[in-house]
Amino acid sequence: MDKLRSSVEAVIRDYRGLLYYIIRPIVGDENLVDDCFSVICEIILRNYDRFDPEKGSLTGWLTRVARNGALNFAQSKKYEILAMDHPEGEDGSGDGEGRRKWEGVDDHTPEDRLIQKENMEELRKALACLDKLETKILLRKYYYMQSTRQIGAELGLSERAVEGRLYRIKKKLIKRMGGENHE
């Protein structure tokens, strides 16, 4: 047990930069970042045995854990804008609650839900058609929740250029989801 703990601590030490990198834009408040980091370290320690290298990379798993943990942390601190629908999943990294919440909306008829499900399927296909840079921008914005300023700085783009690209990406996705007839 101690051996596992020390190896997890080594992982946390090595990937400290990654964890802070993911936490910081989600939590926002610099005074809370260290607290959030501690919480996430605990989550990692608790769930590290669930990590399966065959299912994905360690970086990917840590990214999911840190991101969802930071969202929960933010939600618990009443950061309602940031903490939308993303609590921890079964493997410590999932996003089941958001989906459950959406699925539980009462004013949707079964047909609406089916169409919504179809939309998700179309979105998956549309996402696969994005180029590498577009995918990175989208992930940074909607998964890593980075600011336009941060995205721009790291990709060598001005804030305006990032906003323009995001706008075009969304248009592209809507067009692909809606077919040729959609304007």
Partner 1 sequence: MSDLDKRRKNAVGMDMLPDEAELEALIRQELPESPLIDHYAQEINPFRDAVTYVITGQVLTTITVHFFYLQYILPIIGVMLTCLGMRTLRRGNRFFFAGWILSMISVGWTGIRLLLAATPYLNELGKYPGLCLGLAGLGLTLLFLFCFGKGIQQAGREAAQEKPKMPTLSVMIWQIIVAALAMVSYNGWVLMIAMIAAWIYMIRYICHCADDLQTVGYDVPAAPVRFSKTSIMLTYLVVLVAALIGLNWGFYHTPLEEQGVPEQGQEQVRAHLAELGFEKEDLDGILDEDLADLEDAEAVIYSYKKDQDEEAKMEGKVAAVRLRDGRIKCFTTFRYMDGAHSGLVDSVKLQYTYGKEAIGAMGRIFYTRGGDEFMAKVPLKAHCENRIWFGEVSQDRWLAGKYSYPAFSKGQRGYFTWWIEEDPGEDLTFVMACANFYNLTGPIVLPYVELPYQSDYDMLSMGFGGLGKRSFQIYGTPQFEE
Of the pair 1, 166, the CB lying nearest partner 1 is at: 166
Q: How far is the CB of 153 from partner 1 (least distance, A)?
A: 4
Of the pair 39, 123, the CB lying nearest partner 1 is at: 123
Of the pair 1, 110, the CB lying nearest partner 1 is at: 110
Q: Which residues are CB-contacts of 153 (< 8 A; sequence separation ≥ 6)?
A: none
Binding site residues, partner 1, CB under 8 A: 13-18, 20-21, 56-57, 59-60, 63-64, 67-68, 84-86, 94-95, 98-99, 102, 111-112, 114-115, 118-120, 123-124, 127, 135-136, 138-140, 142-144, 149-150, 152-159, 161, 170, 173-174, 177-179, 181-183
Q: How far is the CB of 156 from partner 1 (least distance, A)?
A: 4
Question: Reduced to 3 states, what is the DSSP secondary structure of residue 167?
Answer: helix
Q: How far is the CB of 99 from partner 1 (least distance, A)?
A: 6
Q: How far is the CB of 109 from partner 1 (least distance, A)?
A: 11
Sign of CA dihedral 144, 146, 150, 151: positive
Of the pair 1, 155, the CB lying nearest partner 1 is at: 155
Cα 4 to Cα 60: distance, rounded to the nearest angstrom: 20
Of the pair 77, 108, the CB lying nearest partner 1 is at: 108
Of the pair 5, 143, the CB lying nearest partner 1 is at: 143
Q: How far is the CB of 69 from partner 1 (least distance, A)?
A: 12
Q: How far is the CB of 93 from partner 1 (least distance, A)?
A: 8
Residue labelled with tokens 């706008």:
167
Cα 182 to Cα 7: distance, rounded to the nearest angstrom: 53
List the alpha helices (DSSP H) in the chain: 2-14, 16-27, 30-47, 58-76, 96-103, 110-128, 132-142, 148-155, 159-178
**Number of residues in the chain:** 183
Sign of CA dihedral 156, 161, 166, 172: negative
